[in-house]
Amino acid sequence: MQLIPRSTGAPSARALALLSGLAAFALLLVGGSESAHAYPQFQFSTYSATCNMCHFSPSGGGLINGFGRDEAGDTISGKGDGGFLHGAWDPPEWLALGADFRVAAITKPAGDVPTNSVFPMQGDIYARVAFSGLSFNGTLGLRGVARSVQTERNDERGVLDRLSSREHYVMYQNLEDAWYVRAGRFHAPYGIRHQDHTQYVRRYLGQHTLEQTYNLSGGVVKDEYEYHLTAFAPAPVLNLGSSENTTSAPVGTTGYGGAFYYENRNEDQTGSFGAQIKADFGDAQSRYWLGGLYKRFFEDQSLMLMSQFDIGLGTFSGDVDADAQFLLSAHADLTYFVTQGLMLTGTIERYDPDLLLSGSGRDGVGLAVQYMPYAHCEVHLLGRLDFQGEDYAAPTPLGMLMLHYYL
């Protein structure tokens, strides 16, 4: 089954595909790496019950498999061949390759003065080598920055200083019984996996840019349900080419801890509900989260609803006089599939780091337009307003235009 009737079109010429691939890899030399994940809107809207139907990762995100590449050309994009290098070359069965490249233009105020910038947002290459149920998976890229960053030597960060591998792990999957175990660096499965790392459920719940932890994780993924249990530890360095550790992360650090995520799907596989719990023991602060989520695809209306709600407790290490903080994170978005290759998503969210402190929370609303006219290509237009401290008369606006190409 398909969301929109399949459109047809001649595949790209081999020469054009190869040139496109070479040009994209060249962009990696000047590109950057921002953590971009799967598009969770496609879980039920493409009649895929689980995220790993299209991705090699059991929890979704990252390198897409053969079925995912077929979907990229048949149901997600307007037309085209979703295969590697536009179908010009098929890697051997034991090898999977891919890449993501994003360039963004943003406008947002800095005080009373608007600032505009164009920068390479992502430049990642992926590789997976598999033998039977055992696989080795890796991602290599350059950390994307919207502004110049000074190093510990007080000079501007060079290309090697931005080299990073946000994911690398070894995994064993028992396909017959649908269980897996993996060890390495990746985001511990928890809640909705949004591709936008600025969403509050990612930014403030330990899944921001380069906040991937080192994990030992296992679970079961079936059409009816899935669960993932993870023990995690912080990454020793932020970038491969420097001595910076995770204290330089954009938002916060991640300590030692564990997470559990469970999702149960309905009989016709058009929706699900889930629950998650996480304990994160940091050097300065520890956080404990408990939450749930709900997803539902309304086929007749071409609408996909996703929501997540988490409550938390924050405690300060070594300070017996410090009061505990009660935390809250709430998120809801609604996606309308206009036609094959075009979708609109409205988002509303809230994060409060201290429910007992008046005016400490922030709210956000956003509207995104994502257009995928051809397989491997995406145009993403985003507008959002953030309200700090419940000051709804003075929002902080953000506008972004992003061009995305993947191999």
Dump pLDDT digits (tens) for 24-59.
Answer: 444 444 444 454 457 999 999 888 899 999 999 999
Give residue 393's domain range.
14-406
Nearest to 208 by CA among 166, 237, 240: 166
Does some domain include residue 250? yes
Average pLDDT, the chain: 85
Dihedral sign for Cα 53, 258, 246, 349, please.
positive
* pLDDT value at 318 more than 90: no
Average pLDDT over residues 285-313: 96
- Do 396 and 388 form a contact (C-beta atoms < 8 A)? yes
The whole-number pLDDT of residue 210 equals 81
- For residue range 63-78, what is the model confidence (pLDDT) as tens digits? 999 999 999 988 899 8
Contact partners, residue 247, CB within 8 Å, separation at least 6: 253
The whole-number pLDDT of residue 21 equals 47
> Please, which pLDDT band fits residue 134 given cuts at 50, 70 and 90?
very high
**31-35, 51-55, 200-204, 260-264: least confident range:** 31-35
Greater confidence (322 vs 403) lies with 403
- Do 108 and 22 form a contact (C-beta atoms < 8 A)? no
Contact partners, residue 196, CB within 8 Å, separation at least 6: 202, 368, 382
* pLDDT value at 111 more than 80: no
CATH number at residue 391: 2.40.160.10
- For residue range 141-189, what is the model confidence (pLDDT) as tens digits? 887 655 555 445 445 556 666 788 889 999 999 988 899 999 999 999 9
The whole-number pLDDT of residue 46 equals 87
Does some domain include residue 1? no
**12-26, 80-94, 244-258, 332-346: least confident range:** 12-26
Quick check: helix, strand or coil at residue 73? helix
Domains held by the chain: number: 1
Of all residues in the chain, the percent with pLDDT exceeding 90 is 62
Average pLDDT over residues 121-130: 94
Torsion of CA 151, 215, 194, 107, to 10 degrees: 0
> Please, which pLDDT band fits residue 259 given cuts at 50, 70 and 90?
very high
Q: How far apart are CA 217 and CA 170, in angstroms?
A: 11
* pLDDT value at 3 more than 70: no
Contact partners, residue 340, CB within 8 Å, separation at least 6: 3, 4, 5, 6, 7, 75, 76, 77, 78
> Please, which pLDDT band fits residue 208 given cuts at 50, 70 and 90?
confident
Does some domain include residue 6? no
Does some domain include residue 92? yes
The whole-number pLDDT of residue 369 equals 98
Quick check: helix, strand or coil at residue 21? helix
Measure Cα distances from 197 to 206, 268, 272, 276, 375 in Å: 10, 31, 23, 19, 23
- Do 210 and 41 form a contact (C-beta atoms < 8 A)? no
Does some domain include residue 9? no
- For residue range 214-232, what is the model confidence (pLDDT) as tens digits? 999 999 999 999 999 999 9
Of all residues in the chain, the percent with pLDDT exceeding 70 is 80
What's the token pair of residue 270?
A: 């058009």
Average pLDDT over residues 358-374: 95
| pTM (predicted TM-score) | 0.85
Q: How far apart are CA 374 and CA 341, in angstroms?
A: 8
Greater confidence (30 vs 381) lies with 381
The whole-number pLDDT of residue 254 equals 66
Quick check: helix, strand or coil at residue 227? strand
Tokens 């209306």 correspond to what residue? 301
> Please, which pLDDT band fits residue 112 given cuts at 50, 70 and 90?
low
* pLDDT value at 345 more than 80: yes
The whole-number pLDDT of residue 229 equals 99
DSSP secondary structure letter of residue 44: H
- Do 30 and 152 form a contact (C-beta atoms < 8 A)? no
The whole-number pLDDT of residue 239 equals 59
The whole-number pLDDT of residue 73 equals 86
